[in-house]
Amino acid sequence: MTKEGQGRQAAGPAKDYAKYFDFSGAKVIAEEEGKTTYRINGRNVQISSPPDLREGKKRGKEEIRVHYDTGIGEDMKTFGAGRHYCIFTYGCQMNEHDTEIMRGLFEEMGYTATEDKARADVILINTCAVRENAEDKVFGELGHLKRLKLEKPDLVLGVCGCMSQEVSVVNRILQKHPHVDLIFGTHNIHRLPELLKEAHYGKEMVVEVWSKEGDIIENLPKKREGLRAWVNIMYGCDKFCTYCIVPYTRGKERSRVPEDVIAEVRELARQGFKEITLLGQNVNAYGKDFADRNYRFGDLMDDIRKIDIPRVRFTTSHPRDFDDRLIEVLAKGGNLVEHIHLPFQSGSSEVLKRMSRKYTREQFLSLVGRIRAAMPNAVLTSDIIVGFPGETEEQFEETIEVVREAGISMAYTFIYSPRAGTPAAEMEDNVPYEAKQRRLARLNEVIAEMSLASNQELAGQIVEVLVEGESKNNANVLSGRTRSNKLIHFEGPKSWIGQFAMVRVTQPQTWFIRAEAIGLAEEAVEWPKTAGGV
């Protein structure tokens, strides 16, 4: 058996993830205008477009159009008057940004936000499909909301986001959660007003999940809160790592044109936002899909560097697309922060091959070396998976070695769990769960050690902090983050919230840093330079 074939199960019949309905009791009630209405478990279900992972995997050469005329129809601008909405969000920053768009749409329809589920007229659960525990939380929440739906029959309960793009999830909702009224996916968020109207007036469960990603929709309203803003620069992912469902749920890579991104960042600067984070499933693939220009992520960052906004971050990167042009631009500093989130997932070249990450251990470490040569004060964080099918103890130890050699100061660590529809789900999950737990605990110990060492380097230094609010555990303590995303706690006046402060590091801890206040950054003529991690 070849090395890449190790750990695979014997070939069996291919799973048909395109098969959507298999309910003996399902009856077709009506078919019109591309919509089919079924009778399932005593309820009418209107299917406009079901999810289809096979369609989601296709990467055609269809032209991606950009739409700018995306306003809400006049008939919907008062639709939510006197009504309240509530959104629960699970998952990554992309999900958070999708929620900002949905909030904007709700409020343009006249709805008012509420965190009180009992008061809400519409409740949406914006879901993540990356981890199994996120899926479990969503179904648990749906179970809790069943009683509220029985008490308020007119409540519209919806599930959206990445989980909605999975056939198995939609089937489970149809079979076991018939109190759900609305299911829609990641590609048709802009259709929320029309879908809400159909669910409200039709009294049917409405399912519309586009498997093909569609076009880029600009000018959608967004309701942002706080000091920081998310800015989508691209959508989708073409990497198809064997464990990941995202390329199926988010579609192919498609970049927003730079003029639209830059205009949005400039507007955020005018609105007074202190920090922006550029978002994409793989931000450093930005521009690869442009046919009419040679303009990549490094070029975009170089242009945004000239905009008067204090801090600019980005997430998430793929090591394969992190090129030298980007390193050159990031090294210019300014408002481009020194924190780089660079998921490497495994330190074993053999495991990386089974993951289809398209780089080796040596190539990743070479990239880290080039980053550190250009940016000696760079703070690197990562994502790491343990217990991937076929991972040996020796291969896990290689991951520990890479954490140390690359100087990873923090990481999101996960035990591998299969996602239906991905190639890895067909591999034999042959690492015992006890071994996975042991490896995760060992990895987390090393990450804690690295985090403490990184924080201790700042002892006695003066650093700049964006003051975000009060500490969750002590109202007398302020909390904020440095340029390198380190969490700082210090005592200071509440009037500093929302501003930049200078503090002196007094007690570096493992996961946060205690400091003493010096003053607001804007009051200083020139602060002492620090060695790194500002």
86 is in an annotated binding site: no
Instruction: List the one residue out of 289, 291, 290, 337 whose CA is nearest residue 315.
Output: 337
128 is in an annotated binding site: yes
| Beta strand extents in 360-474 (DSSP E only) | 379-386, 408-415, 462-470
Query: Do the beta carbons of residue 203 and residue 45 sit within 8 Å?
Result: no
The alpha-carbon radius of gyration of the chain (Å, integer) is 24
Q: Is 108 strand, coil or helix? A: helix
d(CA 275, CA 104): 20
Instruction: Find the Cα–Cα–Cα–Cα dihedral 332, 335, 337, 341, rounded to 10°.
Output: -100
449: which residues sit within 8 A by CB, 6+ positions away?
Answer: none
> Cα dihedral sign for 447, 437, 354, 350?
positive
Within 10 A of 426 (CB to CB), how many other CB atoms are there? 16
Beta strands across the sheet bearing 311-315: 228-232, 275-279, 311-315
Q: Is 36 strand, coil or helix? A: strand
**Bond prior to 316 in cis (omega within 30° of 0):** yes
Give the DSSP H/E element, type plus range, for residue 263.
Answer: helix 258-271
Q: Which one-letter amino acid corresponds to residue 211?
A: S
Instruction: List the one residue out of 280, 290, 346, 348 whose CA is nearest residue 313.
Output: 280
Q: How many CA atoms lie within 13 A of 176 on its CB side?
A: 9
Annotated binding-site members for [4Fe-4S] cluster: 92, 128, 162, 237, 241, 244
Annotated binding-site members: 92, 128, 162, 237, 241, 244
